[in-house]
């Protein structure tokens, strides 16, 4: 099968107190992205935001982030289908208390790049739809550049086939409009067909 158009995100986690980011994501033996619960928010960064975040934590970014290897950190690399990334951008909001309103939002706007906060069905959707995931321990400084610059060759990574029926059930619970459905048709016609089964009626959720 031809590969899907995809986008790479990162989750940088771990660290040493007081600068610690929770170990939110793991990757199972089958390469599937996992979280302990969908009820708690999880955060992912695009490559630019991830780079800026690591640079902020490093004392010497000019010297290849030399001190990061001492901070007990790891990077989870996530390759998501383009349609999911586009939905994040379309549906996300920026708010001081965003999870009181919606379960997908853009956060940490103080730095360049984009970081998404996800919870509930949006977080479950990421875990189910991720085409590839792995976790790298930052035991030597060189691993940082190796991992972050891998976004330049996103298309070279293997892609797993996701469960369209399960993803369609999640998508039907979101407030999708016709433009969103067209996005799915353009990116994954088979998934769009499953979403639009039963007469094409989308369920309107109580919240997103």
Enclosing domain of residue 151: 6-157
Asked if the structure places residue 51 within a domain, the reply is yes
Is residue 92 one of the residues assigned to a domain? Answer: yes
If one counts the domains in the chain, the total is 1
Q: Mind listing the pLDDT tens digit of every residue in the chain (208 residues)?
A: 689 999 999 998 887 776 778 889 999 999 999 999 999 989 999 999 888 877 776 655 554 455 666 677 889 999 999 999 999 998 887 655 555 556 888 887 777 788 899 999 999 999 999 999 999 988 877 788 889 899 999 999 999 999 999 999 999 998 899 999 999 999 999 999 999 985 455 545 444 5
Cβ 186 vs Cβ 4: under 8 Å: no
Quick check: pTM over 0.85?
Answer: yes
Per-residue pLDDT at 205: 47
Looking at the domain assignment, is residue 181 inside a domain? no
For CA atoms 170, 172, 177, 181, the dihedral sign is positive
Which pLDDT score is estimated for 67?
63
Within-domain flag for 45: yes
3-state helix, strand, coil in the chain (%, to 5): 40, 25, 40
The answer to whether position 193 is within a domain reads no
Q: Does any domain span residue 121?
A: yes
| Cβ proximity of 78 and 33 under 8 Å | yes
Structure tokens at 94: 């920026």
Whether residue 76 lies inside any domain: the answer is: yes
């Amino acid at each position: 099968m031809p590969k899907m158009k995809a986008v790479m995100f990162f989750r940088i986690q771990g660290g040493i107190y007081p600068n610690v980011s929770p170990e939110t994501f793991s990757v199972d033996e089958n390469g599937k992205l996992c979280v302990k619960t969908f009820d708690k928010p999880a955060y992912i960064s695009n490559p630019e935001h991830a780079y800026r975040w690591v640079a902020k934590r490093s004392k010497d970014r000019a010297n290849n982030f030399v001190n990061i290897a001492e901070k007990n950190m790891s990077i989870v690399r996530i390759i998501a289908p383009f349609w999911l990334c586009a939905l994040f951008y379309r549906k996300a909001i920026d708010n001081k208390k965003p999870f009181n309103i919606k379960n997908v939002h853009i956060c940490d706007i103080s730095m360049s790049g984009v970081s998404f906060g996800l919870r509930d069905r949006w977080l479950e959707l990421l875990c189910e739809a991720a085409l590839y995931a792995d976790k790298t321990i930052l035991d030597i400084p060189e691993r940082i550049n190796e991992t972050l610059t891998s976004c330049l060759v996103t298309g070279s990574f293997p892609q797993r086939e996701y469960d369209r029926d399960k993803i369609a059930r999640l998508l039907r619970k979101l407030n999708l409009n016709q433009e969103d459905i067209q996005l799915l048709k353009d990116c994954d016609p088979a998934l769009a067909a499953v979403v639009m089964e039963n007469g094409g009626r989308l369920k309107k959720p109580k919240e997103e």
